[in-house]
Amino acid sequence: GNSVTQMEGPVTLSEEAFLTINCTYTATGYPSLFWYVQYPGEGLQLLLKATKADDKGSNKGFEATYRKETTSFHLEKGSVQVSDSAVYFCALSDPHSGGSNYKLTFGKGTLLTVNP
Amino acid sequence: NAGVMQNPRHLVRRRGQEARLRCSPMKGHSHVYWYRQLPEEGLKFMVYLQKENIIDESGMPKERFSAEFPKEGPSILRIQQVVRGDSAAYFCASSPPSGGTEQYFGPGTRLTVT
């Protein structure tokens, strides 16, 4: 079955540090890949996505590149801010689920804390 | 332009009671997904519904759990005879009629079973 493995946290960084959160996946076919962010007490917000190999998703300074050869979708940001403190989830949707079914498979999440 | 609405935001039930969780998708959206987030875990898919139809319930426990998305009104996730292990955050997500890969999440309902 499908699975997503992401770097265990928590990750603690100082403001303006470089961020990498690793994510690898197992899936049949060509899934779409996503990063979601969850702020304390809130639901998930889509941060970025990529739908095919070598696509780069980007948003708010965050980037991730769909690497089919390494089955990876690592999240990066060049300079983090205190406001980036949240839980980050890597996820995939499998086009083989059938029809319009794009159910998501999530990693366990990585808690990021950015200190001033 | 309201997003996905869920209510209640917090729900406390004693063991053996019923829990009813409601989800109103974004305007114009006709696909609803329910996910459960256990403590220290990622979200797990439970069920996918379209209006009046359950499309995929492969993630739903076989007993005590049911879901519906009627022609009118919100989607309902029902848990009968709750147990402590049902304590979790339950998230609803919706997507438009054309389907597509992007899902929009509600704020979640945090269920506590005492």
The answer on pLDDT for A37 being more than 60 is yes
| Residue ranges of A 22-61 with Cβ closer than 8 A to chain B | 32, 34, 36, 42-46, 49, 51
> Between the CA of residue A30 and those of A46, A95, A97, B42, B70, what are the distances in Å?
20, 7, 12, 22, 33
Are A43 and B95 an interchain contact pair (Cβ–Cβ within 8 Å)? Answer: no
CB B86 within 8 A of CB B19: yes
- pLDDT band for position B97 (cuts 50, 70, 90): confident
Q: Average pLDDT of A23-33?
A: 90
In angstroms, the separation between the Cα of residue B32 and the nearest Cα of chain A is: 10
The answer on pLDDT for B1 being more than 70 is no
Residue A4 backbone dihedrals phi, psi, to 5 degrees: -130, 130
Mutation target vs A (from B43, B98, B109; most A CBs, 10 A cutoff): B43
In angstroms, the separation between the Cα of residue B52 and the nearest Cα of chain A is: 15
At B39 the pLDDT is 81
Place of tokens 């001033």: A116
Task: Give pLDDT tens digits for A81-106.
Answer: 999 999 999 999 976 666 667 889 99
- pLDDT band for position A1 (cuts 50, 70, 90): confident
Mutation target vs B (from A104, A108, A110, A111; most B CBs, 10 A cutoff): A104
> Between the CA of residue B58 and those of B39, B45, B48, B66, B83, what are the distances in Å?
21, 8, 9, 12, 21
